[in-house]
Amino acid sequence: MRLQAVCIGRPEKLPGKSYKTGINKAPVGAAVLDRLGLVGDAVCNAKHHGGEDQAILLEGSLTLDWWAQELGRPLEPGTFGENLVIEGLDNQDVAVGDRFSIGDVVLEATCPRSPCNTFAVKMADPKFVKTYFRGERPGIYCRVIAAGTLATGEPVTHEPYSGDRVMIPEMLAAVGKRLSDAEKSRFLAAPIGSRWKATFGG
């Protein structure tokens, strides 16, 4: 695996919207990463985005290839608002607690990307939230274990979580469903993002 793209966004208004968003991201050759994400990357809605547990939004190239086929058009890096694209990675293979080492940088998967209306507007499709849920291949939010500089082309090592593996798509699929106490406990035992703990009663 290697780092295929590093993307950052600046505050912009989407068509028909009054608020600014950082979802429009474009590739850069390299960027500095601190505990809150890529330096210079815009986070406009701190209630739902950003923070230490959602510092980086990561996509696998195999997942983006699947979406490109589903949507019938190529997806340039940053189309989904992601910060990083990892070549050879399928989002469906990632669990909470999995780690990605890129040079001196270490990232840890915390939770799935939950689609919102802003994402639908970005994709120019009012039904895209439902489409994204049905795809069962959500983007992966990560916390920063070790900061540093990221550059396109660097090799990436994927280290699976050693505990009970709660898969990223599994978490998104659980939203809105009635879960047993055992299921809730299993989710909460994994190193999930803080915003998601309330979702499972934590």
- pLDDT tens digits, one per residue of 70-100: 999 999 999 999 999 999 999 999 999 999 9
Give the predicted TM-score (pTM) of the model. 0.92
pLDDT score for 175: 84
**Burial annotation 36-53 (CB, 10 A radius, 16+ → b, else e):** bbbeebbbbeeeebbbeb
| Res 188 pLDDT > 80 | yes
Q: What are the start-end ranges of the H helices in the chain?
A: 61-71, 117-122, 128-135, 168-173, 181-189, 194-197
- The pLDDT confidence band at residue 202, using thresholds 50, 70 and 90, is low
Residues in the chain: 202
Query: Could you tell me the residue range of the domain that residue 10 belongs to?
Result: 2-200
- CA dist 67 and 92 (Å) reads 13
| Res 102 pLDDT > 90 | yes
Handedness of CA 168, 24, 156, 49 (dihedral sign): negative
* Interval 28-55 mean pLDDT: 84
The number of distinct structural domains making up the chain is 1
Handedness of CA 190, 88, 113, 101 (dihedral sign): positive
- CA dist 49 and 63 (Å) reads 22
Q: Which helix (H) or strand (E) holds 183?
A: helix 181-189
Percent of the chain that is helix, strand, coil (3-state, to 5): 25, 30, 45
In this structure, are residues 172 and 133 in contact, taking their beta carbons and an 8 Å threshold?
A: yes
| Res 62 pLDDT > 90 | yes
| Res 8 pLDDT > 80 | yes
Please choose, from the candidates 115, 124, 134, the residue with its C-alpha nearest in 3D space to the C-alpha of residue 48: 115
- The CATH number linked to 141 is 2.40.33.20
In this structure, are residues 109 and 98 in contact, taking their beta carbons and an 8 Å threshold?
A: yes
